Amino acid sequence: MKGLKKFISLLLALILVFSLAACGGSTEPAAEPAGETGSEAQGTDWPKKTIQIAVPYNAGGDTDIYCRLAAERLSEKLGETVVVVNIAGSGGILAAKQIMNEDPDGYNLLFSHTGGLIQEASGMADFSYTESFAYGGTLVEDNTYTMVAKAESGWKNLGDVVAAAKAAPGTVTYSQVNGQVTHFVSKLFEETAGIELDKIDVGSSAADRTAAFLGGQVDLLVVNYANVADYIEAGQFVALGILAPERVESLPEVPTFVEQGYDVVAAKRYSYKFPNGTDQAIIDKFTTTLKEIAEDPEFAAELAKFHAAPYYKDPETTEKDEAAEVELLKVVMGDVFK
């Protein structure tokens, strides 16, 4: 147990560092040539046709929403249509493999979040998210992963859930996507609370899992707050705890797991990946455009509606940070996911 607590503390520290970096300012890209700004600084005539961005989940969830918000601005700045294509399956692996096999011509990208790193660290993915792609940079962070229950359950906080789970081990059901953030959360929650949940995979997208939760297939759902905000405000769902390191400024009434005595933290950062072999000039032009979008106050205002925020990191920093997170997750999972 000492080893587990140590590694959990390391993981919490890593996530906190990433979160503080987001609050403290964006990572600066390489300096642009003198006299040139924005996409004019890049020596390529890309794009010359429609760009497709694959979202590895069905429409309606957080990844899909953030991708579409950014796609509108990418279209405006790049001067070509940018379309979002939903390719759901295998918790994101299907879309990732499809993009890996596309021509590296800059017209097919993957937009995904850091949940995929858990698949890599646990061995569920037979490829590496950090090595099998050319990074395009990070754009968004959502720190509002929240556990909810139905109001009819009578549960008001995490302590109520723990009491119910201890009274009848294995009977409290939980919506889990194997190898994704929900899997990570359930394992750490079980370990820190000393309980056993009945984990059920009811779908990989937030929309599908929310529908299953509404239909009574599971008792507990962990999802980005924006996906269930209307239900919480209507009194149908109860926000039991948020997985941020500290209370989220726009959601001050929702307590964290940590303050309730359960050291479980999970943030989601959303980034772009190109097929390996993509021309560096294309990536540079895309990255410059991405930074412009991240600095756009109107984009920040759109994200704020979902309690998310711009979180720009250049490709090199994104790759370095995600590789470090994978290695730490491997250590944690070696002790937790047995």
- Residues 238, 275 within the same domain: no
> What pLDDT is recorded for position 24?
37
> What pLDDT is recorded for position 338?
53
Domain end residue (candidates: 260, 279, 294): 260
Domain end residue (candidates: 193, 225, 260): 260
CA distance 279 to 281: 5
Q: DSSP class of residue 195?
A: -
> What pLDDT is recorded for position 26?
43
Single-letter amino acid, residue 311: Y
CA-based nearest residue to 287, from 276, 302, 271: 271
- Residues 7, 128 within the same domain: yes
> What pLDDT is recorded for position 180?
80
> What pLDDT is recorded for position 53?
98
- Residues 220, 253 within the same domain: yes
Domain end residue (candidates: 260, 286, 314): 260
> What pLDDT is recorded for position 89?
87
3-state secondary structure of 196: coil
> What pLDDT is recorded for position 183?
87
> What pLDDT is recorded for position 22?
39
CA distance 157 to 59: 30
- Residues 132, 6 within the same domain: yes
* Average pLDDT per block of 10 residues along the chain, 338 residues long: 48 45 40 39 85 94 95 98 94 93 98 90 89 97 97 98 97 90 90 96 87 96 95 98 96 98 94 98 98 98 96 97 90 61
CA distance 90 to 107: 23
> What pLDDT is recorded for position 1?
46
Two structure tokens written together for 47: 């794009």
Number of domains within the chain: 2
Q: How far is CA 148 from CA 55, 186, 213, in A?
A: 25, 13, 10
- Residues 301, 207 within the same domain: no
> What pLDDT is recorded for position 43?
78
Q: ∠ CA 122-146-112 to the nearest 5 degrees? A: 50
3-state secondary structure of 50: coil
